Amino acid sequence: MYFGEFTTTLDDKGRVTMASQLRKTADVLSHAVWFMTRGFDGSVFLFPKERWDAIRGEAGRYSSMDSRAVDFRRMFFGSVSEVRPDGQGRIPVAQHLQKHAGLSQSAKDAVLVGCDDHLELWSTDGWAKYQKAMESKYKEMGRELFQPAGSGESAAGR
């Protein structure tokens, strides 16, 4: 799957380039089609088609009459852009997603972050701010996520 942090730059045509390691992984996994959408905390999510299809299935479990589900769908699915990297690994980033991530022709520096089953695109500044905000919570997140099953201890009780 996808791991690591890779610097890139928004070019004059609004594209970012996937690092060669990411392209190799995508090739091995046959991930030729990607779905970009509004991510959390100022990021842009990039999902390979198979993961995207699974997310669509999960979101479809909720009623169209559930207002929270409708609100989420509007934000998430309403900003989708289907993309295919070109032969050099360049991916076009839609204007509204550039804006969401804080990228522009005057703020071109970006980071692609491998998050196991997907990638995230961040402005360099946005990624640095996010990491700084999460640093003090990192140990606690690990403890909560990887608590041994049946240990009987709560993460808060340690």
CATH number for the domain spanning 89: value is 3.40.1550.20
- pLDDT for the residue 150: 64
Report if residue 155 sits inside a domain.
no
**Residue 100: which domain range?**
2-149
Report if residue 156 sits inside a domain.
no
Report if residue 13 sits inside a domain.
yes
Could you tell me if 120 and 112 are in contact, meaning their C-beta atoms sit under 8 angstroms apart? yes
Report if residue 158 sits inside a domain.
no
Q: Is 43 in a helix, a strand, or coil? A: coil
pTM value is 0.88
Chain-centre distance for alpha carbon 130: 13
The confidence band for 155, taking pLDDT boundaries of 50, 70 and 90, is very low
* C-alpha angle 83-85-37 in degrees, rounded to nearest 5: 35
* Number of compact structural domains in the chain: 1
Report if residue 157 sits inside a domain.
no
The confidence band for 64, taking pLDDT boundaries of 50, 70 and 90, is confident
Report if residue 135 sits inside a domain.
yes
